[in-house]
A and B are shown apart, each in its own frame.
Chain A
């Protein structure tokens, strides 16, 4: 395992204390950034690292930062998206509860790069105890002069606040998150304008995932080229993957980009539970297309390889399913999730996810009508690319890919087919 982001995890949370964090290499990058770098040089270094957003969309981080205008009449903001709620993902949870200062240090440096004086960590409400860990760490950082006015005599001021969400998956979408932070319902905003130009309170705003920001101190200390070289040519660095489901050792694992998916399952995770056979795997959180065992053999954990087998790296939530799993049932489960989490703003997503689930429900009772499998596929098609934000796509892609790869699990739910099967058996 390559330890960059997880190199203090063995301290089992002791690094939450600022002294322990400092003893283990912490708050070395911040003074270096403030002394040796101009703000735009930090953005350049991040560009060299080819770091891409680790929340799910994979947008190049340095490029995102460079969209923020230098001069702005309104204050600029940095917002950390800690609303981790993509099913299958629990990596930001461990980054924050085991090493909160790593994130805070990354945020101060990012704030300096953007010439922003205020940042917020928007953390999902369920992670209340982690919010308390972060607040304690922030207070320690203030006491040491890493936050506040004139940080380490540099003339740069930065304030950081922790803000709780309240149980809405949609608030992980960056513009819905900003609406929520402004005290409203979490409805996504129309883009453009993008947040980098008009974001929080109308000011230029960068929203980055926890893992993305936690990488920043390492890029400053060791250089963008160094970080890039840890991974592949196009997908630089390392990434955290949360492995869940039917494996012997589920957990969070940091591996270099380009690491084979099957090695992660067989080595890090100790293989399949009970020695059973692999049937399917969702490699990037429940929103991305599902893979069959054959695809899994081919896939390495990087953006390009994921695309080549028709899926995405997403948030890095690897959900592993063995041969006993009914893919109809797992797809019904995630469809319920998207139906529940659709914010209700646009028609294709609000109505489409409900209608999808209605068909799933009757098939679940083995009362599927002839043509229901095609109906599901078609309904998903009517959502895909037609919704206001990406939640619609996230609901549609799992359904379509599951039908493509595991059609027999769906066909079994059609009443007509069951009668045929019974007749054949008699």
Chain B
């Protein structure tokens, strides 16, 4: 079940392809945006909506790292850990965030505000180290700039 606005968006997306199933990745983003994560109902609903079997949707959701099957924080703090960012101090950024938020990797703060994650290369290698908050990129971050960023996230 999606909102009317998202149902309309999904109809438009489906029209881009000769088979409905091709719309599964964009459709999962819509569901995730609405519910915060991909719920059991979303999986069942999208299977029916896109002429797929439930297990086919499930195998797609679990393959791609940008979908979550369980609730996550309001802000997903994704620290890039791959080589270029590592060279420029990504480990210190990750440790700093763990201390500051008193939260381990792939954990959510008790107030449900932040989920801390280490992710693989985000394509901002020349702007390292980088951090993505939900879909927003933050480049050349430092422990100071990360502190300011956390303050600004309400």
Q: Chain A interface (Cβ within 8 Å of chain B)?
A: 75, 84-90, 93, 120, 124-129, 161, 163-169, 180-186, 201, 242-246, 250-252, 282, 286, 317, 319, 321, 325, 329-330, 333-334, 336-337, 340-341, 343
| B2 at the binding interface (Cβ < 8 Å) | no
Tell me the complex Cα distance, A317–B123, Å. 10
State how many angstroms separate the Cβ of A80 from the closest Cβ of chain B. 14
> 4 closest pairs, A vs B, by CB?
A166-B64, A183-B21, A167-B65, A244-B84
State how many angstroms separate the Cβ of A56 from the closest Cβ of chain B. 14
**Which residues of the partner chain A approach B28 to less than 8 Å between Cβ atoms?**
166
**Which residues of the partner chain B approach A250 to less than 8 Å between Cβ atoms?**
125-128
Would B87 and A87 count as touching, CB distance under 8 A?
no
Q: Chain B interface (Cβ within 8 Å of chain A)?
A: 16-19, 21-26, 28-29, 50, 52, 56, 59-60, 63-67, 81-84, 86-88, 119-128, 132, 135-137
Would A245 and B84 count as touching, CB distance under 8 A?
yes
Would A330 and B86 count as touching, CB distance under 8 A?
yes
Tell me the complex Cα distance, A207–B125, Å. 24
Q: Which residue of B lies closest to A128 (CB)?
A: B135
**Which residues of the partner chain A approach B123 to less than 8 Å between Cβ atoms?**
84-85, 89-90, 93, 124, 126-127
Q: Can you list 10 residue pairs at the A/B interface with Cβ under 8 Å?
A: A84-B123, A87-B121, A90-B125, A125-B64, A180-B25, A182-B22, A183-B19, A183-B25, A244-B126, A250-B126
Q: Which residue of A lies closest to B124 (CB)?
A: A90
Q: Which residue of A lies closest to B61 (CB)?
A: A166
**Which residues of the partner chain A approach B17 to less than 8 Å between Cβ atoms?**
161
Q: Which residue of A lies closest to B126 (CB)?
A: A250
Would B19 and A242 count as touching, CB distance under 8 A?
no
**Which residues of the partner chain B approach A186 to less than 8 Å between Cβ atoms?**
63-64
**Which residues of the partner chain B approach A75 to less than 8 Å between Cβ atoms?**
18
**Which residues of the partner chain B approach A251 to less than 8 Å between Cβ atoms?**
126
Given contacts A333-B86, A340-B120, contact A164 B125 (CB under 8 A): no
Would A334 and B83 count as touching, CB distance under 8 A?
yes
Q: Which residue of B lies closest to A75 (CB)?
A: B18
Q: Which residue, of B29, B64, B87, B126, has the highest number of chain A Cβ atoms within 10 A?
A: B126
